[in-house]
Structure 1
Amino acid sequence: MIDNHIPVQFSDRRRRFIDRMTRRFVTACGIGVLGVMLLLFLWLIWVVLPLFSAPSIHAGITQQLWQNQPALALGAEGRWGWRIDNQGIGQFIPLNGEPAEPALRLADKVIAAASTADNQAVMLLTPAGGIRVIEPDFSDPGGPRWKFPLGDGALSLGEGGLQHPALAHLADGRWLAAAANATQITLGWLAPHQPIQRQRIDNPATRQLLVAPNGKLLFALSGNLLRVWRLDTEKPTLRDAITLHQPVERMTLLSGGHSLLLSGPTGVSQWFDIASETGPHLNHIRRFSGTGTGLVVSEPQRRVFAVISPQGALSLFASKQDQAIFHHHLPPGITQARFTPAGDGLLTERDGLWQYWQLDNPWPDVSWRSVWQKVWYENYPQPDWTWQATSAEDHYQAKFSLVPMVVGTLKAALLAMLFAMPLALAAAIYTAWFMSPGLRRWIKPAIEMMGALPSVVVGLIAGLWLAPRVANHLAGVLALPFMLALTLLLCGWGARRLPARWRQWFFAAGREPLLLIPLLLLMSLLCLWLFPLLDSAIFGRGMAERLSEDYAQRNLLVAGVAMGFALVPLIFTLAEDAIFSVPASLGQGSLALGATPWQTLSRVVLPGASPGIFAALMIGFGRAMGETMIVLMATGNTPRTEGGLFQGLRTLSANIAVEMPEAAAGSAHYRILFLSALVLLLFTLVVNTLAEVVRQRLRQRYSQHEGQG
């Protein structure tokens, strides 16, 4: 007798052990993923947080000057400070308390002095109208020394009685000096071993003069009248004459010479040029709150200035913010103050005493407001959201607004979803519910294989091949979705009116795609050929040519189509699996009760699959928000907030990919890019969290309905 018994070894203890270990392993992996995400968040915050830290100041050593004469000019660089008094005595003084260098007479009695915008040179003016240009030089390892770029002899700017000097070092190596008497202003262009070129301007009662660093503008304050003269012509031309309604005591130029500060008892106001139909003109931009009468000192290389009251109240301002970024109380009675070139120190003088203050203010222009709100930048016609990280000159003000990239990210993601969602969901519904099993085995893997196409290839095709063809057939491209929808509706209407025998033959066993696909392709070709032809015949030229000023070849439309094409496989796969995973017994029961296939689909299958479909859409949206290469290659990569379907854009991910290799480690630009990454990660987490919450609620709701049924 043959024993057919097959021994089965079953160990309930072993199974429980394996289940327990598997559960612990999965739990540990989940905790590890959460830990990695937490560490990533903490690292990003650690990199970004210094951008928004408050400035600080630390008192340095206080030194006795042993000088009774007041200083007309002073400055500091490195470990040295320098000053020139009204007797023409210049002296270098160490800032660490060591003995000062011997004093040197640089000129005879001096009535006034003027420094260049960077405080690297000083012009001394004598009562007889003589001038002498002096530069403190710290390049010699043996110690600082005085240089005379125009020679050590006095030059004559004009007759006696000149006051209110101004000085600029021009790019061509020349110097522009200005001074005024009771009736006119004298200008002198100076160069080594060349005669002085003088010009005179009638301007009575001048109280102060300023020359732009490039030598193209002269600002003259006379009473309550501010005049701006153009100097880049053969003869000085009066460009602006502004009557000031508030008393002004002093004018100061910010770094770069584009912004003018007017200070008086009512505070400090900022002015700069704005283009108009008649050219650029000086305009009042903002008034800094919390300022009053006091000493106004600007940094040489950044658009930062300080107001020091007679009582010693220090208020630090950045030109992009109306409010002070820092307050501190210094000793009262400060008569002179100067920032170091890098802005990391402040030298003050009071009652024959020097004191050096160390400043920690590395990113004064970056604030939460400048990142998210409109800012009125120099020479812009109005406040705006602007991203401009690179600069043509060192003193040029960088603009770090994330709003253009956030808006670009949302616009690109939403348009891509608008393109991909109908196609992917319609394909998933038809494939899972209506398509024959044999055809489904071919179609589903084919669509899923589309997801293996690299996004850089999709972006390359969109930028080089699709963009010019969309421009050439723009009218047809815009009309194509409506024509395809109309074609499908007409096909459905016509199918119901066919004889029963024809309808059974044409639409049996999943033959619909064999008829619809060629028909839709034919309609697409006809639409792309006919509509541009009609558009050119009616208007004489194509739509893209008519919109030439408002049409960029690589635009939001091209990016949306390309990104939508990349999203279709992902959304289709997840949605089709969700629909196909609905128990067949639910659909069969609905059909057995007399419901039509469409009623069964809309009222039984889709509600049951809604959690999975919603998850597919949210995963696709998150994928669209993080897409980099397609938008980088198909949109022109222009950071702009406004603009519609035919304009370019820039997304957060593309901005990081483009500018991170150029950003200096530890700079404001570098940290702002990390802030972009943090914002993008937060967006993704918020979207995924909301999607999971909604999915769980949908799942709970329809599982209860199924249980009750």
Structure 2
Amino acid sequence: MKENSQVPVIDFDTPQLRMHRKIRSYKDKVAEVGVGVGGISVIIAILLIFLYLMYEVVPLFKSASVEPVAEYQIPATETLPGQAKTLYLAVEEQNEVAMRITSVGEVIFFKVENGQVVKRSQLPVPAGVELTTVSPEGASSHYFALGLSDGSVIVMKERYRITYPNDKRLITPMIEYPFGEEPMQIAQDGSALKSVILHNGEERLMIAAITADNKAHLSGFYKEESMFGDEVSLEQSVYQLPVNAGTFSKVLISSDQRWLYLAGEQGQIDVVDLADASQPKLNARLKVTEKNSGLAEVIMQLGGISLLISDDSGAISQWFLVRDEQNEWSLTKIRSFEHDATPVAVMLSEHRRKGFLAIDEKGQLSVYSTTAHRTLLTEGILDKQPIAGAISPRADKLIVERADGVLQTFKIENEHPEVSWSALWDEVWYESYQEPEYTWQSSASSNDFEPKFSLMPLAFGTLKAAFYAMIVATPLAIAGAVYTAYFMAPAMRRKVKPVIELMEALPTVILGFLAGLFLAPYVEANLPGIFALLILMPLGIVAFGFAWAQLPGKIRHSVPDGWDAALLIPVVLIVGWFALGMSQPLESVLFNGDMRTWLSNDLGIPFDQRNALVVGLAMGFAVIPTIFSITEDAIFAVPKHLSYGSLALGATPWQTLTRVVLPTASPGIFSAVMIGMGRAVGETMIVLMATGNTPIMDANIFEGMRTLAANIAVEVPESEVGSSHYRILFLAAFVLFMFTFVVNTAAEMIRQRLRKKYGAL
């Protein structure tokens, strides 16, 4: 008798299940939208970072521009208005008041905007004597030498007092005579001066001049202050120069009063060494112009080191002294600048930057930067030949007197002349350097400092730090991850993996602090032991593994599978203790008791306490958790049926690891290495505190470096917002951003190829 049985029917369309499916569908859509929004937000954030960096960087490469502002008749003198010639023009800081020194001994201060006279002053020129030449001490100095027709000189100083009556700025020009109004006799024979120069040092005032009969004269005035320091008396010493009368046209003195330059009309320059002022020596007489051209103009660049020379053929060049093969000083041509064949009529050096302006006889203005070796602007601005000109201290205002007596003023925009491809990435021959070099030195205490913005030492330091960190971290992290994921017992893995990942939580500033204050001195004091540790530790582990494999199976099998690594703990401790304990004996036997001295003196390898070895150890420690964690997850995620199938077919565990597991996990391992490298490239605090932060280009493991990230962290707070220095730091950030972007993009492409190749396993 069959029993009637009913098959239970499951209803999948109950209200509860419908509601459950609806809620799950809603959650799926929310998750899909959330993931999409998150991904797009990340892309937008990266794009915004890119755009902001570009916003700060693009102005660096903006070309200079000039535009006319005003045009008016040059303010005339009260005496002989039609015959007075302009000997010198100058503009004060605020671009409101200009100064004109005339050949009749009158100083006229006038408004830059319209030429309205503000003040007139008569120079203390003796009766029957004429003012023949005027020369400033330097581009940024307020001292002037006034050369007279009787061979004497008056030293003048300009000063501008700023007050704010009724909350409106008022600039009051003033003239002072710091050494008195009495002329100082330079040419003892009373010949008229046609060129004069002075340099006011702390202990001595140097004045040199060339007379109308082409003789050169030099006098030193030694200063003696009164007891109360309110008066200075001068004691003159006349020096005999080792040059004969020639066709000299101009005389210049270096800022350190060491060198005297006598420029000849035929294009030659006599270089006189004043190291012993009582016995000046002729260093050299050399031709500085091209194609037998004569000398058109020569001026001293800001800082009093370089000569800027132009000749009758329109060629412009920069020269300064360097030591030759015989270790003697030699005036050397450093670089030439592009210019047409028109002779230069007016050449002006900027007051605060290593740049200059040249206006040729056709009225064409050219703006140059010497350090960047860059022509910033070439534009015709005058329809008449220029007679005199002046550039404001901020280099944003230019006034030029034309041959027809008209004064024109121009506004110049030239914010970042120091930047060019060669200044950033090529070797540059800086002033006082013996050869072109890669150098980063962004600031100094003096206004005549030549900024050095080469990014090469920073890029090199970034790669150097990352290289040594990866050398330490990559093999340890990958080997540890392979053992942990493939050979280690699950119970031990659950303890080891979190401990290693916990290392990543250590603040890098703490690691940098410990590396700089503890690890660096310890490595220096135990350098032989450190190298012995690097050699003996692998050997000790391999030797212990070989010895363990030779033991009877009963002993080896007493340790559960996967717990073998615990046996290495005492081995590592013993080998480490032995290697470091042998440091002093090894140093005494092999290196005469001081390995650092042996490296420096015998091998010629410089040694700094905070060096790349310390960075490699400290930053490698910081990078290991990142590489280990991702690599271990990638290996552990390899499907078990692949390894079981390989073992079942007779492959050994090592063959299975190398031919099945590692190829399958290779995309993840490669990603781990690239992410670890990105961490090393962008690391800031460790390299900042453990490297000495010196921007040098040397692969020596015993010397430090400065990285892009560390340099940004150090200098951004001190840089002036909007300055060239500030924007170049953003350029360094952009370079770092692009480097990581390109590396990560390439890494992703390689990872996809690896995934496609081994994904079929």
> 2:166 matched to which residue of 1?
none
Find the aligned partners of 1:360 and 1:352 in 2 and give their Cα distance: 26
Find out whether 1:260 has 2:307 as its counterpart.
yes
The code of the aligned residue for 1:123 comes to A
> What secondary structure is seen at the aligned counterpart in 1 of 2:221?
strand
CA shift, 1:639, in A, is 0.8
Q: Note if contact 1:386-1:401 (Cα within 8 Å) is conserved in structure 2.
A: yes
> 1:294 matched to which residue of 2?
344
Deviations along 1:106-163, one digit per CA (max 9) or x if unpaired, are: 3342222222213633322222123223334332646434333333444433332142
Find the aligned partners of 2:270 and 2:570 in 1 and give their Cα distance: 75
> 1:122 matched to which residue of 2?
144
> What secondary structure is seen at the aligned counterpart in 2 of 1:449?
helix
TM-score by length of 1: 0.93
Task: Please identify, of 598-607 and 258-267, the stretch whose mean Cα deviation from structure 2 is larger.
Answer: 258-267
Aligned to 1:274, which of 296, 305, 322? 322
Aligned to 1:189, which of 221, 229, 234? 221
Identity %: 37
Task: Please identify, of 425-434 and 219-228, the stretch whose mean Cα deviation from structure 2 is larger.
Answer: 219-228
Question: What is the 5 A alignment of 1:148-297?
Answer: 148-157=177-186, 158-172=188-202, 175-181=205-211, 182-189=214-221, 194-195=233-234, 197-202=236-241, 203=243, 204-205=245-246, 206-222=248-264, 223=266, 225-231=268-274, 233-238=276-281, 240-244=283-287, 246=289, 247-249=293-295, 250-266=297-313, 267-275=315-323, 278=327, 280-290=329-339, 292=341, 293-295=343-345, 296-297=347-348
> What secondary structure is seen at the aligned counterpart in 2 of 1:505?
coil
Distance 1:233 1:503, change over 3 A: same
Find out whether 1:432 has 2:485 as its counterpart.
yes
> What secondary structure is seen at the aligned counterpart in 2 of 1:343?
coil
> 2:647 matched to which residue of 1?
591
> 2:535 matched to which residue of 1?
482
> 1:359 matched to which residue of 2?
412
The code of the aligned residue for 1:294 comes to V
Distance 1:103 1:437, change over 3 A: closer
CA shift, 1:615, in A, is 1.1
Kindly report the root-mean-square deviation, in angstroms, between the aligned alpha carbons of the 2 structures: 2.6
Task: Please identify, of 237-246 and 404-413, the stretch whose mean Cα deviation from structure 2 is larger.
Answer: 237-246
Deviations along 1:461-488, one digit per CA (max 9) or x if unpaired, are: 2112211221222223224333333334
Find the aligned partners of 2:196 and 2:538 in 1 and give their Cα distance: 73
Question: What is the 5 A alignment of 1:128-147?
Answer: 128-139=150-161, 141=170, 143-147=172-176
Q: Note if contact 2:240-2:279 (Cα within 8 Å) is conserved in structure 1.
A: yes
CA shift, 1:636, in A, is 0.8
Unmatched 5+ stretches in structure 2? 1-7, 163-169, 224-230
Question: What is the 5 A alignment of 1:627-666?
Answer: 627-666=683-722
Deviations along 1:436-466, one digit per CA (max 9) or x if unpaired, are: 1121121111111111211111112211221
Task: Please identify, of 82-91 and 493-502, the stretch whose mean Cα deviation from structure 2 is larger.
Answer: 493-502
Find out whether 1:684 has 2:740 as its counterpart.
yes
> 1:27 matched to which residue of 2?
36
The code of the aligned residue for 1:200 comes to Y
Aligned to 1:90, which of 107, 114, 117? 107
Find the aligned partners of 1:132 and 1:542 in 2 and give their Cα distance: 63
Q: Note if contact 2:441-2:453 (Cα within 8 Å) is conserved in structure 1.
A: yes
TM-score by length of 2: 0.87
Task: Please identify, of 164-173 and 6-15, the stretch whose mean Cα deviation from structure 2 is larger.
Answer: 6-15
> 1:404 matched to which residue of 2?
457
CA shift, 1:702, in A, is 1.9
Aligned to 1:76, which of 91, 101, 114? 91
Deviations along 1:565-613, one digit per CA (max 9) or x if unpaired, are: 1111111111111111111111111111111111111111111111111
Q: Note if contact 1:419-1:561 (Cα within 8 Å) is conserved in structure 2.
A: yes
The code of the aligned residue for 1:185 comes to H
Unmatched 5+ stretches in structure 1? none
Find the aligned partners of 1:196 and 1:394 in 2 and give their Cα distance: 30
Distance 1:23 1:261, change over 3 A: same
> 1:48 matched to which residue of 2?
57
Deviations along 1:224-272, one digit per CA (max 9) or x if unpaired, are: 5423334454514226213216345132100010111222135122122
Distance 1:248 1:319, change over 3 A: farther
Find the aligned partners of 1:596 and 1:696 in 2 and give their Cα distance: 29
Task: Please identify, of 684-693 and 353-362, the stretch whose mean Cα deviation from structure 2 is larger.
Answer: 684-693
Task: Please identify, of 425-434 and 195-204, the stretch whose mean Cα deviation from structure 2 is larger.
Answer: 195-204
Find the aligned partners of 1:229 and 1:311 in 2 and give their Cα distance: 35
Aligned to 1:603, which of 650, 659, 663? 659
Find the aligned partners of 1:136 and 1:520 in 2 and give their Cα distance: 76
Find the aligned partners of 1:680 and 1:180 in 2 and give their Cα distance: 55
Q: Note if contact 1:170-1:214 (Cα within 8 Å) is conserved in structure 2.
A: no
> What secondary structure is seen at the aligned counterpart in 1 of 2:683?
coil
Find out whether 1:64 has 2:73 as its counterpart.
yes
Find the aligned partners of 2:159 and 2:215 in 1 and give their Cα distance: 37
Distance 1:142 1:225, change over 3 A: closer
Q: Note if contact 1:229-1:236 (Cα within 8 Å) is conserved in structure 2.
A: no
CA shift, 1:560, in A, is 0.6
Find the aligned partners of 2:545 and 2:222 in 1 and give their Cα distance: 87
Q: Note if contact 1:52-1:368 (Cα within 8 Å) is conserved in structure 2.
A: no
Q: Note if contact 1:271-1:282 (Cα within 8 Å) is conserved in structure 2.
A: yes
> 2:134 matched to which residue of 1?
113
> 1:342 matched to which residue of 2?
394
Q: Note if contact 1:404-1:650 (Cα within 8 Å) is conserved in structure 2.
A: yes
The code of the aligned residue for 1:31 comes to I
Deviations along 1:25-71, one digit per CA (max 9) or x if unpaired, are: 21112111211111111111111221221111111111112553331
Find the aligned partners of 1:104 and 1:313 in 2 and give their Cα distance: 33
Find the aligned partners of 1:537 and 1:404 in 2 and give their Cα distance: 38
> What secondary structure is seen at the aligned counterpart in 2 of 1:194?
strand
Q: Note if contact 2:144-2:198 (Cα within 8 Å) is conserved in structure 1.
A: no
> What secondary structure is seen at the aligned counterpart in 1 of 2:415?
coil
CA shift, 1:323, in A, is 4.1
Distance 1:186 1:651, change over 3 A: closer
The code of the aligned residue for 1:269 comes to S
The code of the aligned residue for 2:45 comes to V
Find the aligned partners of 1:289 and 1:194 in 2 and give their Cα distance: 48
> What secondary structure is seen at the aligned counterpart in 1 of 2:197?
strand
Q: Note if contact 1:174-1:190 (Cα within 8 Å) is conserved in structure 2.
A: yes
> 2:228 matched to which residue of 1?
none
Find the aligned partners of 1:196 and 1:636 in 2 and give their Cα distance: 49
Task: Please identify, of 523-532 and 36-45, the stretch whose mean Cα deviation from structure 2 is larger.
Answer: 523-532
